[in-house]
Amino acid sequence: MSDEIILRVEGLMTQFSTDYGLVKAVDGVSFDLRRGETLGLVGESGCGKSVTNLSIMRLIQSPPGKTVAGKVLYQGRDLLQVSDEEVRVLRGKNISMIFQDPLTSLNPVLTVSLQIMEALQLHHGLKKKEAKAKAIEMLRLIGIPDPERRANDYPHQFSGGMRQRVMIAIALSCDPEILIADEPTTALDVTIQAQILELIKDLSARSSTSVIMITHDLGVVAGICDSVCVMYAGRVVERASVDDLFYDPKHPYTRGLLESIPRLDRAEEYGTVGGKRLYSIPGSPPSLIAMPPCCPFNSRCARAMDICRRAYPPETSLAGRSPRTVSCWLHAKEN
């Protein structure tokens, strides 16, 4: 992993207008992505992970959504300010995305080879024959058996794991510098999950591709990521290297997520008779409409103080193996 920052997100804010009010889905998110780094974005469903990355790609549907503030700096340019045509050139070629559900993301009436060829012809100007050969090569690279024959099949003729591999082939066909993977192992069995993650990890190491891994599975984070941003209610509440986060979590929400994971070294504690229940964070995430100006986790936090109910904590820098920050009054210098 290089120290070169390939993508910098500063104060990103994306909102959605609804009949019930303004939803602040992403509320001031900032992070850096280095060349060759795998960065995990973790948190419960609805915390803003996917919207953050759709905002980076300029794929937020407007209306009702709109990115109202912030910067997304790539190669010295703010992607939120460049023209639509410039963004279309970058998508797929420089920054690619693996979407969460391959069945709805793939075109059901086109063969998988045509869907891979489309990006190659658009961004690299390849002729049809060259693009077809490259598409077959990509299918072979991602582990599709008999790629010459399967290239002419349609998405419904593939299993869920194979469709996800096709999505990866499309995303990687143009050798992007940044790969955004939006929960690429959702709804896949454990064996296929491991294969997909190992494939992404191997391809990233081989070509120094930077990866943003969106997931709610901390097991995935431990196995593939270099650093982690923990999101809650549209904001990043803790940033740290993966080692610092797992060995010494600082934010109570991060601690709750880690304690919710079954552990093999404590299996005897969770017996069916007389055993402890697996920990779960009490309560539910807050509504993102009319958020109060205080810590949104305070009603679920066992260590909440009076100030947590009055003001949002500042971002505090902490010592660690690598730069880390946390937004919590327990660690704020003002506390």
CATH classification at residue 35 = 3.40.50.300
Task: Identify which of 121, 145, 122 has the alpha carbon closest to the alpha carbon of residue 133.
Answer: 121
Q: Do residues 79 and 104 share a domain?
A: no
124 belongs to a structural domain: yes
What is the number of helices (H) and of strands (E) in the chain? Answer: 11, 12
Integer CA distances (angstroms), 3 to 7, 73, 225, in order: 12, 16, 16
61 and 101 co-located in one domain:
no
- Mean per-residue pLDDT of the chain: 87
128 in a structural domain = yes
Whether 281 and 319 map to the same domain: the answer is yes
**Cα-based distances in Å from 324 to 29, 120, 172, 318:** 15, 39, 30, 6
- For 16-42, what is the mean pLDDT? 92
Above 70 in pLDDT, residue 269? no
- What is the CA angle 116-118-120, rounded to 5? 75
Whether residues 291 and 185 share a domain: the answer is: yes
Asked whether residue 71 carries a pLDDT value surpassing 80, the answer given is: yes
pLDDT digits (tens, 9 = 90+) for 142-183: 788 899 999 999 999 988 788 888 888 888 888 889 999 988
Establish if 277 belongs to a structural domain.
yes
What is the per-residue pLDDT for 187?
64
Beta strand pairing call for 235-241 and 38-42: unpaired
Are residues 222 and 321 located together in one domain of the fold?
A: yes
190 and 74 belong to one structural domain:
yes
Which tokens is 58 given? 């300029």
The reply to whether 118 falls in a domain is yes
Identity at 139, one-letter amino acid code: L
Q: Are residues 61 and 188 in the same domain?
A: yes
Q: Is 225 left (phi over 0), alpha (psi -120 to 50) or beta?
A: beta
Q: How far apart are CA 202 and CA 196, in angstroms?
A: 10
Is 311 inside any structural domain?
A: yes
Same domain, 217 and 166: no
Backbone angles phi, psi at 282, to 5 degrees: -70, 155
Among 108-112, 192-196, 216-220, 314-318, the minimum mean pLDDT is found in: 192-196
Q: What is the bridge-based pairing of β-strands 315-318 and 5-18? A: unpaired
Residue of 253, 215, 210, 222 whose CA lies nearest to 235: 253
If asked whether residues 70 and 191 sit together in one domain, one would say: yes
pLDDT for 100? 78
Number of domains in the chain: 2
> In angstroms, what CA-CA distances link 155 with 122, 138, 283?
21, 16, 40
Q: Is residue 332 part of a domain?
A: no
Model confidence, pTM:
0.88
334 inside domain: no
For residue 240, the surrounding DSSP H or E stretch is: strand 235-241
Task: Give the tens place of pLDDT for each residue, 96-119.
Answer: 988 877 778 888 999 999 999 988
In this prediction, residue 31 has a pLDDT band, given cuts at 50, 70 and 90, of: very high
Query: Residue 49: is its pLDDT beyond 70?
Result: yes
Is residue 335 assigned to a domain?
no
- Tell me the residue range of the domain where 298 lies: 5-83+181-196+204-327
Task: Specify whether 171 is located in the same domain as 191.
Answer: no
Pair 108, 74 in one domain: no
**Domain check: are 189 and 273 in the same one?**
yes
Q: For strands 5-18 and 21-34, give the pairing.
A: antiparallel
